Amino acid sequence: MSFEIIGTGRGLPEQIIENQRMAEFLDTSDEWIVSRTGIRSRRVCRTETATDLAVTAAEQAMKKAGVLPAELDLILCSTIGGDYVTPSLACCVAGRIGATCPSMDLNAGCVGFLYSLSMAAAHFDSGRAEKILVIGLERMSSWVDWNHRSICVLFGDGAGAAVLGKGDSLRYLHLGTEGDPTPLNRPISIGNNPFTDRPPVPEVLHMDGRRVFKFATRVLEAEITRAFKQTGFSSEDIDLFLIHQANGRIVDYVREKLGQPEEKFPKNVMRYGNTSSASIPILLDELLEEGAVKPGQTLFLSAFGAGLTYGSAILNWK
Ligand code: COA
């Protein structure tokens, strides 16, 4: 049974921070950031909350899908942190849009949107849902150390959403994990517990950039090879590859390996940086708005992230 995507939306903070602004307080330059990552600017929340961005994306997606809050059977938010550790971001969204269905968060790093699609597919397959709202939301500006030039320049804030209905768009889905927090993590503080010997830790994102880069290129290549072997598809059968927008060089690496033209590997990392689990749904929403995604096309979605997690999906666009 599975699903099809019947509406998408995005929520982005108004504030645009260009590379030049970063160079005003960091030992960095527009030239370094663009040449290493392709990023030219990112959005950073000034007044918006995580819930605000997620609700904007959700309301757009529901309007386009023609689905009312009362019709939703499940809300899934992929995020590494909404406005609260508890309640979940999904509950905050449900309250704001007026939905009462089960609502929960899922943390699979930057692959969260694909993990959410997988959970949604299981709900459709078991007959427990007819309409599901899936949101990827990240407010990375709250988690990076703004003094750490090799990390803070990479990330941005944003949300992307999709409303799923019953259908048969999903042609392939594979998820995986190489469980290891060391290459990419954000610790949670021990609070002010007087009975612990553990030292307090700064609650900021830690990343070994080169290690993550090598992991990303390795798993993306392996994911594509695996998907083609299992489905019989080849690069020529895929109209668009929506690769997690972490670094333009990673997207280019995969494209060059497959010998495919640039237009089949769309990017928006130059405008938003890495918005983690929001990156694929934001990109999808923009491509639909531009008319770049058309019925009958085949899309390949693939991502990698903290966990370390990875995954891919092939969708036949209806
Ligand atoms: N501005 C200027 N110089 C910087 C800099 C910045 N913003 N950030 C790092 N540098 C410096 C480093 O300190 C280093 O200097 P050194 O040689 O004197 O030590 C030099 O630039 C090269 O650093 P390096 O880490 O080798 O650069 P790189 O080409 O590997 O690019 C990343 C760094 C982070 C852009 C790259 O490794 C990457 O994209 N990794 C994957 C990250 C990712 O995708 N994370 C999210 C996963 S979901």
pLDDT digits (tens, 9 = 90+) for 5-38: 999 999 999 999 999 999 999 999 999 999 999 9
**Ligand 1 centroid – CA 154 distance (Å):** 9
Assign 6 to helix, strand or coil.
Answer: strand
How far is the C-alpha of 34 from the C-alpha of 242, rounded, in Å? 20
Q: Position 136: which residue type?
A: G
Q: Which residues line ligand 1 (CB under 6 A)?
A: 28, 32-33, 36-37, 110, 149-150, 153, 184, 207, 209-210, 212-213, 216, 246-247, 274, 304-305
Nearest 5 degrees, angle CA 176-CA 310-CA 10?
Answer: 130
- The catalytic residue positions are 110, 244, 274
pLDDT tens digit sequence for 137-166: 999 999 999 999 999 999 999 999 999 999
Ligand 1 centroid to 54 CA: how many Å? Answer: 30
Q: Is 317 helix (H, G, I), strand (E, B) or coil?
A: coil
Looking from the CA of residue 28, the nearest atom of ligand 1 is 1
pLDDT at 1: 60
Q: Which atom of ligand 1 is nearest to the CA of 153?
A: 7
Separation of alpha carbons 1 and 24, rounded Å: 53
The two three-digit tokens of residue 9, written as one number: 């939306």
Is the pTM of the predicted complex or chain greater than 0.85? yes
pLDDT-derived band at 200 (thresholds 50, 70, 90) equals confident
CA of residue 50 to ligand 1 center, whole Å: 27
Q: What is the pLDDT of residues 54-113, one digit of tens each?
A: 999 999 999 999 999 999 999 999 999 999 999 999 999 999 999 999 999 999 999 999
Structure tokens at 83: 């406005």
